[in-house]
Amino acid sequence: MLQLESVNSFYGGSHILHDINLEIEKGKIFAVLGRNGVGKSTLLKTIMGLTSSMTGKLLLNEDDLSTKTTFSRARAGIGYVPQGREIIPDFSVKENILMGRFADINGKVEIPELVPELFPYLMDNLNRAGGLLSGGQQQQLAIARALATNPDILLLDEPTEGIQPNIVEQIEECIITLNQKLNLTIILVEQNIRFAKRASHGFVFLDNGRVVLTGKGAELTDELANKHLTI
């Protein structure tokens, strides 16, 4: 479904990703793993078209997105939840969610059907300012906004980072539900190896902007994690 062929990515004159070749199957959860600063977030930003430039090919359902704008990639079916969430604090919960509809080619100005089931708190607080929510509630809001784009593939950058423990489990269950109920393809940057092992169908380890190992979810062991994540 999503293919990266010899992808290199740059911030200005800095060469961050080097010759990335990946293939992510439709309807799967794919974990992107590695130490801090090895290019995991840059990989998602490259897919979304948020770096200075890239070379190589990025194909979504055989549609070449390599030279397309971020907005065009969102319209093509890529949803994105960035690290730090980036909700608009002065907008209400409802307004934040409906922002995602600008990328929905169907033009439906409504909250996605699955949001009330996944995030009842948001539905009970639609008129509350996004900036007044807790970190975990803002993460729920960022996911709801991404769902409003009606994506085929969802990019999640460390969705459980800095979230209170009682909401981490809710976020994890939400990710699995989105995959199972919507057959949504998910690319997950995650430091929580326990969750990555539980949820992912495939994985890649990055180091210094390069792929050092790929495999199936069942092959992700503690031994591999210790080898590629310890300093």
pLDDT digits (tens, 9 = 90+) for 135-145: 999 999 999 99
pLDDT digits (tens, 9 = 90+) for 192-225: 888 999 999 999 999 999 999 999 998 998 888 8
CA 60 to chain centre: 15
pLDDT at residue number 112: 87
- In the chain, which ranges are continuous DSSP H helix? 40-48, 70-76, 93-99, 115-118, 120-124, 135-147, 165-182, 193-199, 222-229
Is 231 or 169 the better-scoring residue by pLDDT?
169
> Does residue 109 surpass a pLDDT of 80?
no
pLDDT digits (tens, 9 = 90+) for 57-103: 999 998 999 999 999 999 999 999 999 889 999 999 999 999 988 87
Q: How far apart are CA 166 and CA 10, in angstroms?
A: 38
Q: Give the three-state DSSP class for 209.
A: coil
- Asked if 3 and 22 touch (Cβ cutoff 8 Å), the reply is yes
CA 119 to chain centre: 18
Give the residue extent of every domain in the chain: 2-229
- Asked if 141 and 122 touch (Cβ cutoff 8 Å), the reply is yes
> Does residue 165 surpass a pLDDT of 80?
yes
- Asked if 132 and 102 touch (Cβ cutoff 8 Å), the reply is no
pLDDT grade for 106, boundaries at 50, 70 and 90: low
What φ, ψ does residue 220 adopt, rounded to 5°?
-80, 105
pLDDT at residue number 118: 92
- Per the prediction, the chain carries an average pLDDT of 92
Rounding to the nearest 10 degrees, give the CA dihedral for residues 85, 58, 8, 10.
-40
CATH topology of domain 2-229: Rossmann fold (3.40.50)
Q: How far apart are CA 132 and CA 89, in angstroms?
A: 7
> Does residue 159 surpass a pLDDT of 70?
yes
- Asked if 94 and 127 touch (Cβ cutoff 8 Å), the reply is yes
Q: How many CB atoms are closer than 10 A to CB 86?
A: 11
Could you give the strand order of the β-sheet that contains 153-157, starting from the edge strand earlier in sequence?
A: 78-81, 153-157, 185-189, 29-33, 202-207, 210-216
